[in-house]
């Protein structure tokens, strides 16, 4: 849309409105007042100001996976402990399941803690990762106890 021809009119620069609020044609309402320039951010790189939006941190997927695997490994270790003395093969099955989930929970929890620390506030879930790590240690120790009971019962 071309503005009406006026004496001394020049093409506005990129990003500028053709009619600044002081020179609006009569009867024209300005619905929205945009700032002419963006507010500078406190960071400057190579002479350029950086605008950094503040976003909500993203929850860590490995932290959630660590918590789920730790809960599953702990739940799987309980029937393993109960059945290891009576049925060694069932105890061995629960030993394998809880050991696999416990070790996976420990690995995911330690990876999630490194990821959260390196993200600088962009990723959340430090407590979830720590909970998954602790539950993984509990599940692995219970799996070791289940394996020991199974070996004695065989």
44, part of any domain: no
pLDDT band at residue 40 under the 50/70/90 scheme: very low
pLDDT digits (tens, 9 = 90+) for 4-32: 555 555 665 655 555 555 555 566 555 55
Domain count, the chain: 1
Tell me, yes or no, if the pTM score tops 0.85. no
Q: What digits encode the pLDDT tens for the residues 66-113?
A: 999 999 999 999 998 888 888 888 888 989 999 999 999 999 999 999
CA 145, CA 61: separation in Å to the nearest integer? 30
Position of tokens 């390196």? Answer: 118
Q: Is residue 130 part of a domain?
A: yes
Q: How far apart are CA 128 and CA 86, in angstroms?
A: 36
Q: Does residue 49 form part of some domain?
A: no
User: What's residue 152's pLDDT?
Assistant: 87
Phi, psi of 9 (to 5 degrees): -80, 140
Read out DSSP for 40-95? PPS-EETTEEPP----PPEEPHHHHHHHHHHHHHHHHHHHHHHHTTT-HHHHHHHH
For residue 142, give its domain range: 61-153
Decide if 34 is inside a domain: no
């Amino acid at each position: 849309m071309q503005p009406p021809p006026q004496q001394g009119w020049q093409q506005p620069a990129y990003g500028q409105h053709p009619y600044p609020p002081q020179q609006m044609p009569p009867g024209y309402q300005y619905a929205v007042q945009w700032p002419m320039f963006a507010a500078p951010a406190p960071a400057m790189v190579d002479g350029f100001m950086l605008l950094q939006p503040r976003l909500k941190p993203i929850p860590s997927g490995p932290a959630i996976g660590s918590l789920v695997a730790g809960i599953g490994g702990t739940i799987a270790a309980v029937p393993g402990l109960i059945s290891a003395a009576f049925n060694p093969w069932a105890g061995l099955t629960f030993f394998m399941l809880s050991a696999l989930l416990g070790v996976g929970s420990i690995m995911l929890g330690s990876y999630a803690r490194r990821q959260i620390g390196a993200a600088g506030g962009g990723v959340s879930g430090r407590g979830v990762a720590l909970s998954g790590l602790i539950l993984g240690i509990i599940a692995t120790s219970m799996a070791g106890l289940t394996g020991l009971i199974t070996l004695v019962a065989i």
